[in-house]
Structure 1
């Protein structure tokens, strides 16, 4: 009877897959989505059309989900020693490594199918985006601030958005350079500092566990300057993204969105200044609203021209 009850209490396969891809935690893909859509609106000089909106929204969700599969496989031995991650499906053995990789591969292929409906420069860039996404889970073993690698991975939708909005059918390097101006790469670099900010907050949550198991993170690298570092990252992000956006034609309405984002940065300081796990984790989870504020300001500014 007890074995029957235990079997009945086991999660179903679909629920395990949803847990694997963090379906109940949409903050992860929203952090990727808002800067990508902001870049898409800027590149298109307004409404980009339903096709590109669907491609980048669905593609972001699919690739973030695929990234979770790769990350959980790469970190399964480390995650066993962290209370917050010990029950993840791969770590607990509920899903095998092969099965998790198969799920990730299917999701990545679906995302690539969406990319194939765009143009040549976007398709070429998608391979670079995939390569960076696959490298990140292993960066924390060798790089003092692996969040910088994550920043590139989480920001690659920006040049892809420009390529999709401005590119043509040619496959040459010249065509990619024409579709993706230097300003798009500058926006990627700017967004990288936002990723450094919120993922350092995230790393502050697991500081003690990471010291014990030997993981490299920005929170450990910054040491007692972690809070100051997070605030500096936020300021560099907001300052550079604002300057670039103004140069690309946005105006006063956009600045209202930036002001709303800056107010959230001030609030985040109150959450992380004491380095408490709960406050740092809350700051991380609420970061998508900061990205939404910048996106909303971008959309409103272009719509009210």
Structure 2
């Protein structure tokens, strides 16, 4: 690593805790792990917590396993960091050509590729320690996700739908929470997984509109470029499919009224995003993308309350 100062990354919140409090030597690594942009680990966490809450209700328990909640939280933070570090290593030459990413630690020269590799391995090891706290089925299921994670950074080079691969990887937790509870899978978590995949494709299409022009110049694919002016219709389709699949998961898990209320709130928030969406306003696209943290809360709280009420 060089002694260059660490700038604020363009899409990180102003005055974030990394910029304000992290030691200078740690800032580039914290930026590699996106610790200055917590929305990513929230989006990785929600399918895990949704699945765990849905399984809790199906098992007739009033509260989810608190240890599992904590494990999924820690795992989401470190594995999101490891995945982003891996992505930055693979994309270092591309990032140097895109305005939003050229100040990232590797293209800006503040972290070497070797240093990033070591940091990625460290985060992955922490993630592995978290994973082996679960049952054998969940451990093997978690390991299986790595094949999808490994190919994702390359998809933008060969397809106009890399968001679909991101969805397959980012939504894996929708299977994990149920597997951690029951030691196997069933139709409800599969439907929840499809809901999370559709949701991810939708919100990452919004996010990708920030880079649409740069991606076109360097020949990278995205759903934002693939659908262009038709992105609003595609976004509405993705979000509608997500809500329908979430309802399917709730129905097949035989959940109660509060789960439906949570799904309604989730759907209403997604409809609000569609109504606000403007593909030519990068700042708005980023704000709508980040608002999916609140969308996740709505569904989670509904499932959580339903499990608590249903156990009485």
The answer to whether the aligner puts 1:272 opposite 2:268 as a matched pair is no
| Equivalent in the alignment of 1:296 | 301
Which residue matches 2:99? Answer: 83
Deviation track 1:69-99 (CA, whole Å, cap 9, x = no partner) reads 0111111111111111110001211101111
Q: Who is 1:26 aligned against?
A: 38
Q: 1:143 to 1:266 in 2, by over 3 A?
A: same
Q: Indicate how the Cα distance of structure 1 residues 12 and 237 shifts in structure 2: closer, same or farther if over 3 A, else same.
A: same
Alignment of 1:258-269 (within 5 A): 258-269=263-274
Give the aligned partner of residue 228 of structure 1.
Answer: 233
Listed as ranges, the matches of 1:189-268 within 5 Å are 189-268=194-273
Gaps of 5+ in 1: 1-5, 168-178
Q: Give the CA deviation at 1:183.
A: 2.9
Correspondent of 1:145 among 161, 167, 172: 161
Looking at structure 2, the residues matched to 12 and 20 of structure 1 have their Cα atoms a distance apart, in angstroms, of: 14
RMSD over aligned Cα atoms:
1.8
1:42 paired with 2:42, answer no
Where does residue 3 of structure 1 map in the other structure? Answer: none
TM-score by length of 1: 0.90
| CA spacing shift, 1:239–1:113, aligned 2, 3 Å | same
Question: Deviation per CA, 1:170-192, whole angstroms, max 9, x where unpaired?
Answer: xxxxxxxxx11233222212210
- Greater shift, 200-209 or 279-288, is seen at 279-288
Q: 1:122 to 1:273 in 2, by over 3 A?
A: same
Residue of structure 1 equivalent to 2:24: 12
Indicate the residue corresponding to 1:183 in structure 2.
Answer: 188
Aligned: 1:161 with 2:177: yes
Off by >4 Å, runs of 4+ in structure 1: 6-11
TM norm structure 2: 0.88
> Does structure 1 residue 283 correspond to structure 2 residue 269?
no
Are the counterparts in 2 of residues 271 and 282 from structure 1 also a CA contact under 8 Å?
A: no
Contact 1:44 1:166 in 2 (8 A): no
Q: Report the CA distance between 1:242 and its aligned residue.
A: 1.4
- Give the match for residue 109 of structure 2: 93
Q: Structure 2: which 5+ runs fail to align?
A: 7-22
Q: Displacement, 1:273?
A: 3.3
User: 2:124 matched to 1:108?
Assistant: yes
| 1:141 aligned counterpart, secondary structure | helix
Kindly indicate which of the two structures has a greater share of residues assigned to helix.
Answer: 1
| Partners of 2:219 and 2:3 in 1: CA distance | 36
Query: For this pair of structures, how many residues does the alignment match?
Result: 289
